[in-house]
Structures are given as structure tokens and as C-alpha cells.
Structure 1
């Protein structure tokens, strides 16, 4: 059996982590096994399932980065050299793969799950990026990206033919059949009237997800007399400040914070539209899931156009656009007819988002 150690930091319910678990569940576990390196002692959402699947969790909780690298190197030296390292730390893949090389690990996989926003960066940050790109190019034996934009970002020196595009695949059948069954899931859960528009935003409560923009947009909708309810799914460092902002804008009756949830397919199925005004993204798993369900999304044009899978379920708008433009696009979205599950399943499978095909591709990478 070949063991693959995933460097993830933690395994809570978020995009990259969910994608790894989707792959893990379908993996041929007679020949391959996933293990994980955490940089925390805290319990994580997927711990129990990882253990049920017979995966190991190695914890390196040191806050000092140099101490962490030393402990990581020491751990790798004790492992079978046929163990593979699969790093999901984006630009920081450079250090973890470089150390794996020094420890004698033969298969070293770099996986990019996102891009970087177009904002001002310090001189030191730019130097670190160039240095990291060079190290990844030197020490990775395999290059994976969730999409073309992510691949161009993290592997600027690598030929595109050497980069494996591994879409954030899902169990297409499970999601495509969910909307009909769970269409009123959120409406019943929150006891909402039939004429209330249900909007959702899923993701970590961090700056890049731009929840502040969403809340200001809600303020605009309320001023126009539009009946809506906004559901925020996820947790993060901005939890308290976002709740304060909701109260400040007198939206507490229009917004529900649900925290981290395991019933994402049902929540998406019960929504009328998903918002994603992110400052930047790679290829978010939740955008694959929403399209698989047939849920339309209104997202920022800072997100790569490749996230639109051709089902006419993704609408882009600029973060500098007036809220009236976002409002108009939202209302037009709500007039769309539902797409049949069979059509959705066919399109996603053809586009490579079927988890079964992704697992086969990954197993070929591990050898």
C-alpha cells in the first residue's frame, strides 16, 4: 500500500479540505491511503471520518515557523521513503516540498487551489514569491492545479503540458438530484414565507470572501423594499465583526449565521441564489456544487471566467458596479427556469468534474 501525506494545516469544512475528502472517500484504499499533517492541536471537522477511513493525523502545532520546519523534517526522516508528500499550502508548498526533498521523499506533489488578488505587495513579498516559485519548480515532481488560472499563478516557469488540471470534482449524482427533494429545506428550517428570496454565501469568514460587500448589498436591497433572507454558512476570524456590522445596518432580522455545516447540499438546494463577491478565488468547490445542484450564483468578476461551466447558472458583476446593477442581475437570475438534473450531470461529467474520474487521474499521479 502506498501512503500519501497531505499537508493541509487542518481539516475543517472548507473548499480545499472538502475536495480532498471527496477524493479520499472514492480512493482505492486497498492500494492507497491518505494521511495528514496538521499545524494545530485543535480538533477538526473531518478528524473522525479520517480515522474511520484508517488515515493517520500527524500534528505539528509549533507557532514558530522554523521550529515547525525542523519537526516536519524530523517526521519525514522516520517515514518510509516511498511515502508521497502532497502539499496544499499554495505558495508555501516551496518550503514543504524542499524539506521533503532533503528528507529523501521521492514523490513530491504541489497542489494549487487558488490565485492571488491584484493588490499592492511589499518588496519582500514579491521577492518571497519569486523565490517560492523557483523552489516549487525545482523540488516538486508533480504539479497540480484546480484550474488554468491557478496553474499560471503558482507555476509560471512550468510548461502547461506538465501541469495536471484536477477540477474540484464532486459526487455529481448526489448533488444533481438534491434540489428537487430539498427545495424547501431552508425555508422550512428558518420558517420563511414563500415570497422571501433566500440568498446564501458559503465560505470562511475572512477578508478575501468579502462578506462586508454582501452586507452592504443587502442594505441596498432592503432600501428597495425587496423581501429577502441572507444565510451565512461558515466560520472564521471575522465572525464577531460581521455580526456587529449586521446589527449596525439594522439587518439582524434578515440575516442568519449558521456556522459550519455538514448539510451543504441541502442548504444550497433550499436557496434561490448564492452570492460570492470574493476579492479573488481559484476554482471554488462550492461553485461546482452550486451548479451541480442547479443553483444560480451572482459572483464578482475578479473570479476566473472558467468557473462558469456553461449551464447559464453563473452571472458576473464588478465590485465597483453600483448596487443597482447587482440588484438587476439578481432579479433576472430569479426568473430563470430550473435545469433538469440529467442535463447538469451530463455537462459536469463531460467537463471532468465527476469525482470518479478525478480519483483515477490522481492515482495515476501517485503511481
Structure 2
């Protein structure tokens, strides 16, 4: 059995981690096994499933770069089975790949999942990212990205990069449109006429939940019968709940925490909102298009996320009122059949079953 060690920030329900789990579930685990390094002592969302599938989780709770480097190097040296290390930590890949090189790991893979830089300090961004990018491009032996923009962010143009889109189980998700269309109505005892809006993502500044709450406030002022569901957790949860309370929106806005039934929620809702200040290539938008729910999203998100099935609508985030006005247009947009949608998404390379074969061939290549 060949064991591949994946280095991630955590294994919570976020974009890169969800994509990784989609691939992990599909591999032949009698021949391949995925193990994971996370930089936290806390239990992560996918931890139980990873262990049940035969994987291992190594927890290195070190924020100090030198101590993290030493811990990783020690892990690689004391576990010689790991001749493939696959890093998913964007610019931090530099440190982790360097530790792998010092430990003489043969195949060192850098994977770019982001299309934009998250740093707000331009000086720090320039020096840190320039140095990190130099190390990554000179220490990694192989390069992977979720799309062309992600590749351009992290890798030099002369590098041969394997593009593996953020794939999902397209066939299963496409069936939800019919099998789970009443999922939310039945769970919350809602009439079919109630407008159901959802936002999926951690409560962090870049996800812009406060903008979504302003949309809810405008909808209520107009007398719209709606429910808005937030699926996720995060450090801003308390602040956001206070804002909902101040605007007297407790009956309309529902906080649901971490959910394992996100696709089912999509299928039972009317519109997915994503007014993010920036994103990489969100897996949730691949899922939403496979399920068939229209998504109204920030125009700061890469155009690459639109897979051509008529379910993505871009809008600027200057005024919540613009989004409120757009809701009817999105709801009444032209529909494409489930079969055609499945075919388009699969042909564009976003189906996990196909991509797992490309990945395993990549692991076996020189």
C-alpha cells in the first residue's frame, strides 16, 4: 500500500479540505491511503471519517515557523513510508516543502487552491510572498492547482502544472434537485411560498456575512416572507448574532452551525448567496451548480467558478439593495435540464470519479 501524506491547515469543512475528502472517498484504499498533517490540537470536522477510512492524523500545534519546521522534518524522517508529500497550504507550502526536502522526501507536491492574496499589508505581502514563491518553485518537484488563476498566483509560468478542478460527485448531487426539493420546508415546517436563502462558509470577515444580514433587513422591510440560513461557524458568530438581534431578525435569520447536509440544504433552498470580499475557487459553488440552485455571488470572485450551466450570477457588493433587486431575476432565470447540467459539469472536469484517476496516475509518475 502506498501512503500519501497531505499537509493542510486543518481538516474542517472548508473548500480545499472538502475537495480532498471527495477524492479520498473515491480512491482504492487497498492500494492507496491518505494521511494528514494538521496544525491544531482541536478535533477537526473530518477527523472521525478519516480514521474510519484507515487514515492517520498528525497534529502539530506549532505557530513558530522554526519549531513547525523541526516537527515536520522529524515526522518525515521517522516515517520513511512517506515518499510523497502533498502540500495544500498556499504560500506556507514553502516551509513545509523545505522540511520535506531536508528529510529527503522524493516527491514534494505544491498545490495551489487560492486565486487571490489574503494579506492586506502590501510590504509584508511582497517580501513574504516573493520569498515563499521562490522556495516553492525551487523546492517542489511537482505542481498542482485547481485552476489557471490559482496556478498563476503561486507558480512560475515555466512550470508544468497539473490542473485538478475542485471536483464533486456530480451524479449524486444532481439527483438532489428532485429528491430533496422539500428538504428545508419539511425540516422547518415552511410553506413552499417562503423564500429560502442560504449562505455557506465560516464566519470570517472575507465572507461578508454582515452584508447578507443587511439584505435580510431590506427583505423584511419590504414585507417579503423569507428565511435566511447561515451554515458555518467562526470567530465572528457572536458579533453576527448580535447584529441579527439588534435588527430584530431572529425569526428570519437562522444560524445552523457546521452541517454535513449542505447539498441537501441547497436542493431545498431557492438561492445561495456569496457576497465574499475574496475567494479561491469555492467547492461550494461547484456543489451548488451540480445541485442546481442559482447562486448570487460577489463580482470579486473569479469568473472561473461559472461552469456554464446558467446558475451563477455576479453582482458588485456596493449596495445590499442591488442584491435584493436581483433576487427576482435570479429566481426567474432560464433553467437547464438536470441531464444537460450533469453533462456540462462532467465534461469540464469537475467530477470526482474522473479526477481521482488523474491524481493516482500523477502520484505514480516520475
Bucket of the pairwise TM-score, normalised by the shorter protein: over 0.9
- Give the superposition deviation at 1:224: 2.2
Q: CA deviation at 1:78?
A: 1.1
TM-aligned CA deviation for residue 62 of structure 1: 2.6
- 1:308-349 CA-partner distances (Å, limit 9, x unpaired): 1111100000112x3332222211111135432211110111
Equivalent position of 2:235 in the other structure: 237
- Matches of 1:227 and 1:114, distance apart in 2: 37
Counterpart contact for 1:113–1:283, Cα < 8 Å: yes
Q: CA deviation at 1:170?
A: 0.8
Say which is worse superposed, 253-262 or 330-339, in terms of deviation.
330-339
> What is the distance in 2 between the residues matched to 1:163 and 1:154?
11
Structure-1-length-normalised TM-score: 0.95
Distance in 1, matches of 2:92 and 2:180, equals 40
**1:172 aligned residue:** 170
- Taking the TM superposition and a 5 Å limit, the aligned residue runs for 1:260-279 are 260-279=258-277
Distance in 1, matches of 2:63 and 2:134, equals: 26
Q: Residue 82 of structure 1: CA displacement?
A: 5.1
TM-fit CA distance, 1:216: 1.4
After TM superposition, the score normalised by the length of structure 2 is: 0.96
Question: SS of 2:339's equivalent?
Answer: helix
**Retained in 1: the 8 A contact 2:310–2:336?**
no
C-alpha deviations, 1:74-119, integer Å up to 9, x for none?
Answer: 1111122652111111110011011111110011111111122587
Residue of structure 2 equivalent to 1:188:
186
Q: Distance in 2 between matches of 1:204 and 1:43?
A: 16
Change over 3 Å in CA distance of 1:209–1:182 after alignment to 2: same
Call closer, same or farther: CA 1:99–1:208 in 2, change over 3 Å: same
> Aligned partners of 1:230, 1:167: CA distance in 2, in Å?
30
TM-superposition CA deviations, 1:264-300 (whole Å, max 9, x none): 1211101100000111112110000000011000000
Q: Is the 8 A contact 1:137 1:158 kept in 2?
A: no
Say whether residues 1:127 and 2:127 are aligned partners.
yes
On the 8 A contact 1:81/1:106 being kept in 2, the answer is no
| CA distance in 2 between partners of 1:266 and 1:119 (Å) | 34
Name the structure 1 match of 2:96.
Answer: 96
Match for residue 357 of structure 1? 354
> Is the contact made by 1:81 and 1:104 (CA closer than 8 Å) also made in structure 2?
no
Partner of 1:258: 256
**Does the CA contact (< 8 Å) of 1:82 and 1:107 recur in 2?**
no
The 3 A distance-change label for structure 1 pair 241 and 7 is same
Whole-angstrom distance in 1 between the partners of 2:7 and 2:104 = 17
Match of 2:19 in 1: 19
Q: Which segments of 5 or more consecutive residues in structure 2 lack a partner in the other structure?
A: none
Q: CA deviation at 1:124?
A: 2.4
Structure 2 CA distance, aligned partners of 1:119 and 1:92? Answer: 13
1:46, CA displacement in angstroms? Answer: 1.2
Question: Does 1:341 pair with 2:338?
Answer: yes
- Structure 2 CA distance for partners of 1:324 and 1:42, relative to 1, 3 Å: closer
CA-based RMSD: 1.5
Deviation at 1:184, TM superposition (A): 1.2
* 110-119 vs 236-245, which moves further: 110-119
Q: Which residue of 1 aligns with 2:158?
A: 159
* Contact 1:301–1:317 (Cα < 8 Å) also in 2: yes
Native 8 Å contact 1:142 1:365 kept in 2: no
How far the C-alpha of 1:199 sits from its partner, in A, is: 0.4
Runs of 5+ unmatched residues, structure 1: none
